[in-house]
């Protein structure tokens, strides 16, 4: 996912190198909360001066937040979001929590002994550990250990906190009361939370569907609707209409069934592209059937260029309603046939200076180490056969 893509989840604030005084913590929080960064900076300074709590919070936040790095120092500023490692993030968050608590303890005189603070830290750390395991996948033992370990730490922290503040004797009772209250709250709140969560995911699903529909509509508008209106305008011109319809059909087919991006360099798609170009130019449908496939090399490209010439000849001169192209490729050889059932010609009657057939088909194949045969009879069509060994012996 892109760093700046809006996400339905809350994300760690980001430290941006451009907008910072020190490490950018204040401006990152400011961006997230919507407060002026200057106010936060002053607050940090005051807190740092009064007992160092501000420093702890600042350092913790710096550890926890996502930071940016320049991807290419030489080029334009293009930051790449880099997450901290989970452990550093946890330590950072724990430091922030602990610092804030220490602050509240001092400021509001909550009366918690300083010795009782470390269980709170342990509990907070356990909580983060449990949360950070993300989705609890029971199949992944490490995640399970993390979740359970986190819960154990939380429980231990809470018990230690009670024992240190209330006294060891009262601890079991306090724990019981706490558990009962907590269970009550969970029972009341859980269905509501669950419903809210399912509504959120429902909304997300609907938005994804709407996006998909919008993309489909946009594509149909740009392609099919445009073509249909062009066809209406040129309805009198039969060949123009046919050409537009074929072109659109091919494009839509590619979009619906195709996987390969345009410009793929294997034989199958290259041949389809050549056929489409010739078909567009002359308006005679070309049916292409390919068996086997391989990446293009220099010699296959030569054969492809010869095939293109044969398709053009058939389109221009045969008068056939359709041209069949069949290509077969395996490790040893490549064969390609361009066939029409048009008017044909007498090969012996072609003057030797006719460049088309001899130069661009026969000689081209010969240079690549292959052979081209042209067989034709008046009134029974023409077939150009190209054959090319794959390995030069």
Partner 1 sequence: MKRRVVLVDDHELVRVGVRSALGDRVEVVGEAADVPSAIAVIAATQPEVVLLDVHLPGGDAPAVLAGLPDTSARFLALSVSDAADDVIAVIRAGARGYVTKAISGPELVDAIERIALGDAVFSPRLAGFVLDAFAKAPPEAPDPELDQLTTREREVLRLLARGYAYKEISTRLSISVKTVESHASAVLRKLQLSNRRELSRWAEGRRLG
Q: Which residues sit at the interface with partner 1, rule CB under 8 A?
A: 249, 253-254, 257-260, 285, 287, 289-292, 321-322, 324, 326, 328, 330, 337, 339, 341, 383
Q: Other CB atoms closer than 10 Å to residue 54's CB: what's the count? A: 18
Sheet strand arrangement including 14-15: 14-15, 66-70, 79-82
Give whichever of 27 and 318 is closer to partner 1, judged by the CB atom. Answer: 318
Phi, psi of 81 (to 5 degrees): -70, 130
Work out how close the CB of 279 gets to partner 1 at its nearest, in angstroms, rounded to a whole number.
Answer: 11
Work out how close the CB of 257 gets to partner 1 at its nearest, in angstroms, rounded to a whole number.
Answer: 5
Give whichever of 159 and 325 is closer to partner 1, judged by the CB atom. Answer: 325
Give whichever of 41 and 246 is closer to partner 1, judged by the CB atom. Answer: 246
Work out how close the CB of 260 gets to partner 1 at its nearest, in angstroms, rounded to a whole number.
Answer: 8
| Cα(328)–Cα(388) distance, integer angstroms | 11
Angle between helices 25-33 and 53-64 (to 10 degrees): 70
Name the H helices within 258-336. 267-282, 298-313
Name residue 336's beta-bridge partners: 327, 386
Q: In terms of Cα–Cα distance, which of 373, 366, 269, 281 is closest to 323?
A: 281
Give whichever of 1 and 256 is closer to partner 1, judged by the CB atom. Answer: 256
Q: Other CB atoms closer than 10 Å to residue 69's CB: what's the count? A: 11
Give whichever of 25 and 374 is closer to partner 1, judged by the CB atom. Answer: 374
Give whichever of 309 and 324 is closer to partner 1, judged by the CB atom. Answer: 324
Give whichever of 138 and 257 is closer to partner 1, judged by the CB atom. Answer: 257
| Cα(217)–Cα(230) distance, integer angstroms | 18
Give whichever of 290 and 368 is closer to partner 1, judged by the CB atom. Answer: 290
Work out how close the CB of 198 gets to partner 1 at its nearest, in angstroms, rounded to a whole number.
Answer: 33
Work out how close the CB of 207 gets to partner 1 at its nearest, in angstroms, rounded to a whole number.
Answer: 28
Q: Other CB atoms closer than 10 Å to residue 388's CB: what's the count? A: 21
Work out how close the CB of 94 gets to partner 1 at its nearest, in angstroms, rounded to a whole number.
Answer: 51
SS3 content of the chain, % helix, strand, coil (to 5): 60, 10, 25
Work out how close the CB of 285 gets to partner 1 at its nearest, in angstroms, rounded to a whole number.
Answer: 6
DSSP reduced 3-state for 168: coil
Work out how close the CB of 269 gets to partner 1 at its nearest, in angstroms, rounded to a whole number.
Answer: 9
Q: Other CB atoms closer than 10 Å to residue 23's CB: what's the count? A: 17
| Residue 350 and residue 378 in contact, taking contact as beta carbons nearer than 8 Å | no
């Amino acid at each position: 996912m892109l760093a700046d893509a809006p996400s339905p989840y809350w994300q760690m604030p980001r430290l941006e190198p451009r907008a910072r005084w020190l490490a950018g913590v204040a401006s990152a929080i400011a961006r997230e909360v919507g407060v002026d960064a200057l106010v936060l900076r002053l607050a940090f300074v005051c807190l740092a001066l009064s007992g160092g709590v501000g420093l702890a919070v600042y350092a913790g936040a710096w550890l926890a937040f996502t930071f940016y790095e320049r991807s290419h120092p030489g080029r334009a500023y293009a930051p790449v979001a880099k997450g901290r490692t989970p452990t550093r993030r946890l330590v950072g968050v724990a430091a922030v929590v602990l610092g804030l608590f220490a602050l509240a303890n001092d400021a509001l005189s909550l009366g918690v002994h300083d010795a009782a603070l470390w269980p709170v830290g342990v509990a907070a750390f356990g909580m983060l550990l449990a949360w950070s395991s993300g989705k609890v996948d029971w199949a992944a033992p490490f995640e399970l250990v993390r979740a359970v370990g986190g819960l154990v730490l939380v429980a231990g922290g809470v018990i230690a906190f009670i024992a240190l503040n209330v006294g060891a004797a009262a601890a079991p009772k306090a724990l019981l009361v706490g558990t009962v209250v907590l269970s009550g709250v969970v029972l009341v709140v859980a269905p509501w939370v669950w419903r809210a969560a399912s509504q959120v995911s429902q909304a997300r699903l609907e938005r994804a569907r709407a996006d998909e529909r919008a993309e489909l509509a946009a594509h149909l508008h740009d392609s099919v609707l445009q073509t249909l209106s062009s066809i209406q305008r040129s309805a009198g011109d039969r060949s123009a209409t046919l050409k537009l319809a074929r072109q659109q059909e091919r494009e839509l087919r590619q979009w619906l069934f195709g996987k390969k991006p345009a410009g793929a360099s294997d034989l199958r798609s290259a041949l389809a592209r050549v056929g489409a170009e010739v078909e567009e130019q002359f308006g005679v449908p070309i049916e292409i059937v390919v068996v086997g496939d391989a990446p293009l090399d220099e010699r296959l490209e030569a054969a492809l260029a010869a095939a293109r010439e044969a398709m053009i000849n058939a389109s221009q001169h045969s008068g056939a309603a359709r041209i069949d192209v069949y290509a077969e490729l395996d490790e040893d050889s490549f064969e390609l046939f361009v066939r029409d059932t048009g008017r044909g010609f007498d090969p012996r009657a072609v003057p030797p200076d006719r460049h088309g057939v001899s130069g661009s088909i026969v000689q081209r194949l010969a240079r690549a180490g292959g052979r081209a045969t042209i067989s034709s009879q008046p009134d029974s069509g023409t077939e150009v056969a190209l054959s090319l060994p794959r390995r030069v012996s």
